[in-house]
Chain A
Amino acid sequence: MTTLIDCPLWTDICGYAELIPERGAGALVGGDQVAVFRLWDGSLRAVGNYDPYGAAFVISRGIVGSRGERPIVVSPLLKHAFDLDTGAALEDPDVRLPTYPVRLRDGRVEVGGR
């Protein structure tokens, strides 16, 4: 049986070159606001754009960096840091941004629905 999770509906976001390395971009995926990131090694990440601490859709506008080996984004509102691999807040792993599958196809960035 094929489930929705196995076969996400991919949404076109933008050309890969349009993403600035280490800077996020907001995108609409289905009804969700998603923050899409191109990291320093060229890989892609997508997490929810909603900052649960600041209660606003601003994650895509945070500074991208690293904490140890983990890639992170820091919300611009109250400076909470989130792990871009898992979506978890660094100071409270129970607080999580949703994560989305993201892929590069024919030079285009695509994000899967959840």
Chain B
Amino acid sequence: MRHLVIVGNGMVGQRLAELVHGWRVTVIGAEVHAAYDRVHLSDYLAGRSAADLSLVPAGCYDGPHRTLLLGDPVSTVDRTHRTVHTASGRRIPYDALVLATGSRPFVPAVPGAEHGYVYRTLADLDAIAAAAAGARTGIVVGGGLLGLEAATALRNLGLAAHVVELAPRLMPTQVDEGGGEALRQRIAALGVHLHLAARTERIEPTGTGGLTLHLAGADPIAADLLVFSAGIRPCDELARGAGLATGERGGVLVDRGCRTEDGNVYAIGECAAVEGQTYGLVAPGYAMAEVVADRLAGGAATLSTVDTSTELKVLGVDVASFGDAHGRGEGALQVVYADPVGAVYKKLVVSDDARTLLGGMLIGDTTAYLTLRALVGTTLPAPPEDLLFPGGGQVQIALPDSAQVCTCHAVTKGAILGAIGEHGLADVPAVKACTRAGTGCGSCVPMLKSLLTEAGVAVSSALCEHFAQTRSELFDIVRVTGIGTFSELVARHGTGRGCDICKPVVASILASLHTGDHVLEGERATLQDTNDHFLANLQKDGSYSVVPRVPGGEITPDKLIVIGEVARDFDLYTKITGGQRIDLFGARVEQLPLIWRRLVEAGFESGHAYGKAVRTVKSCVGSTWCRYGVQDSVGLAIQLELRYRGLRAPHKIKLGVSGCARECAEAQAKDVGVIATETGWALYVGGNGGFRPRHAVLFLSDVDTPTLVRTVDRFLMFYVRTADRLQRTAPWLESLEGGLDYLRRVIVEDELGICADLDAAMARHVATYADEWQATLADPDKLRRFVSFVNAPDQPDPAIAFVRERDQIHPARGVLVAGPNLPVGAP
């Protein structure tokens, strides 16, 4: 098998490694982190971890033909012997070599530049974050895209930010004067101090840890730290050292096939100068990776015209530019819409007869971006001014078939519609697989959805291929017919044998309507997701985590000690959860009953952290201890948690109770939030954390405890019965026609006459609740399932292995990081 060596594990090098098949692949990264999403680097300082930003799919470097070496930069390339040498002394031979070394931040040669930080890698961000501790003000030199990203990062660290830009406007490459003004207004309104047309002269440390930035012809700026983010330069030293040609403005010189003059050496991404031109965007880099992957597979792909269209959010401001955004083409006309009050600026560049769209830019409102980008090069379907007005270009404009929807893979609207018709494609994943549209940068995916609609593909409300009904329709069928098994339901009202979508839904419905039965009883066991099947939370390595219930977050020292002892005896990783409980990680299936026997003996119950079910009721300490508390929030939280424990639902449900308006329990972020008032309780509903956080809305104020509990009973039961699969309370509320008023009419004023039924259903739930784990431990038949191997019940899964980090177990992973203990030599 031939050997491909990729130098660089950035976004583009990683993409190539995933695209190449049939080669042994070794990827060598200079950083200690495997490839991560550099485009969203500022999120790292907003709380996303390096793991969140990772771009390496699980298992990518497993297997004998895939190797990732990290923290070991390549020092030289020996083209004669086709070998690369690394800093640690490895010598790695190659049949084909791809340079994907990226670029480095440009630091202007001004006195005192060494006192500034740069903004490029996770290590750079760690250094900036360390310097920002205790700091209040930061300066970013550079007002382009990267500079504004760095300013975002400083604001994420809680610093006041100054941005210094040499040009008279922000983002001078992407936007023109008018666009720059709209951008300036919006960003200045965020409290960012802007210094435009300002030349950096020198940087002087103050001696007290801070520094002063001196500008030409303007007042100096004092700050605690300074970051250079004023452009990038390609890392082309390896190519220079190996005698390969470089571009006039740097970069490894390659042809449109991404080949250097040496047929075995390629360059891609920011380090490559394709016919002399370098690109600082990830989309062209991905396109280059595809070209090289094709060539390594024997193809002859070349890089087509590079689309430098971009749509992004800088400091929360939407900015897009596409095609010939600056109107540089001969005879190009510009049509501008500017709204100085709303700080919106839109411009279209059209041909001299105003009929063909050439490009444009959008600041402050980019809703029309995808449509307009697809129209570039085509005859305008409407006068340009109509396309620019607010809301214009969204739905009214029908794209011609020749419009390019996916610019990464040059897929036209006609090709997509053709594929939808010819192959009967029914959803976005099918369109992606068939046409490759949407598989590059992904920005056109929303447009694929609307093309499916345009093609007349009905967006079905069917649960899945086995049931044409929605979840709430199935709920009603089961409630009215009294059907008690999945087999009967699918035989009478569905087709086939079910799947991972409908089976857990039916399991949830049966749990709500047949409240006394155990979730693992009879056929019900086969419907459950693995979490419900093992009554624990599956983790990435195949081990499980265990969360005992701690009602209201109140726990005795004796019980705390039991949790500690269990964790110690089974060597589990322990972490405090956001729901005021303790999560124990790293349990193998065969350990779960042993762990739970200990916990149940000590009086613990299942916490249902594994289920789409009521999870926790978080509380503050309330009037019992707190000087400000006005009600006993812990007491109410425990009462609610014991009442609703075990209630299965379309999604997880969290509750919170705060003892006063200071809201320390963050109840307004919960599905059901209760906040104490001087005279009773205020009830909030529909708060969610998660992917789309939502504040709960006030539903009742100043009610007594019985009224509160009755209303929560009905709210939860109405939600359980009518919400869609995996629909949390916030989107469910939004989907109710009539919204909050309607909900009030149903569960307070009983307009539908169903309240007695809802009350009875909740009473049944409360009366029949039993701890699932206690029941499981008492049933040898259920316990038999808790083995890794049915023919070797005593043997643990040998693939689950741990390393110790910060004195606890962590999953062992298969990626090598260079260090003193690693063997040196070819892999």
Contact = CB atoms under 8 A, between A and B. Distances in A.
A40 B490 CA distance: 13
A9 interface: no
Interface string B525-546: 1110111011000101110000
Interface in A27-73: 27-28, 33, 36, 40, 50, 52-58, 61-68, 71-72
B499 interface: yes
B500 A79 contact: yes
A33 B791 contact: no
A58 B789 contact: no
For the complex, would chain B's binding face be called helix, strand, loop or mixed by DSSP majority?
loop
A76 interface: yes
Residue from B499, B542, B799 having most chain A Cβ neighbours under 10 A: B542
Interface residues of B, number: 41
Nearest to A50: B799
A14 B791 contact: yes
Contacts, number: 110
A18 interface: yes
Given A14-B790, A18-B790, A33-B789, 20 more contacts: A12-B791, A21-B523, A21-B526, A22-B526, A23-B525, A26-B797, A28-B789, A36-B790, A50-B799, A56-B799, A58-B542, A62-B500, A63-B500, A63-B527, A65-B502, A66-B497, A66-B498, A77-B540, A77-B542, A79-B500
B474 to A, nearest CB: 16
Interface in B487-543: 496-500, 502-504, 523, 525-527, 529-531, 533-534, 538, 540-542
A81 interface: yes
Contact of B499 (A11, A56, A66): A66
B500 A56 contact: no
B587 to A, nearest CB: 14
Contact of B791 (A21, A27, A74, A91): A27
Contacts of A65: 466, 496-500, 502-503
A102 interface: no
A91 B496 CA distance: 20
A22 B62 contact: no
A74 B790 contact: no
A20 interface: yes
B166 to A, nearest CB: 47
B787 interface: yes
Nearest to A39: B497
A97 interface: no
A13 interface: yes
Contact of B500 (A23, A50, A57, A74): A74
A-B CB proximity, top 9 nearest? A55-B59, A76-B530, A74-B500, A56-B542, A65-B499, A66-B497, A25-B790, A66-B496, A55-B58
A55 B465 CA distance: 28
Given A54-B540, A76-B538, A22 B497 contact: yes
Contacts of B789: 26-28, 33
A53 B500 CA distance: 17
6 contacts: A33-B799, A55-B62, A65-B496, A66-B497, A66-B499, A77-B542
Contacts of B498: 63, 65-66
Contacts of A61: 530, 533-534, 538
Q: Which of B57, B785, B791 has the most A CB atoms < 10 Å from its CB?
A: B791
Contacts of B530: 58, 61-62, 76
Nearest to B530: A76
A26 B795 CA distance: 11
A36 B789 CA distance: 10
Contacts of B496: 65-68
Contact of B59 (A20, A52, A71): A52
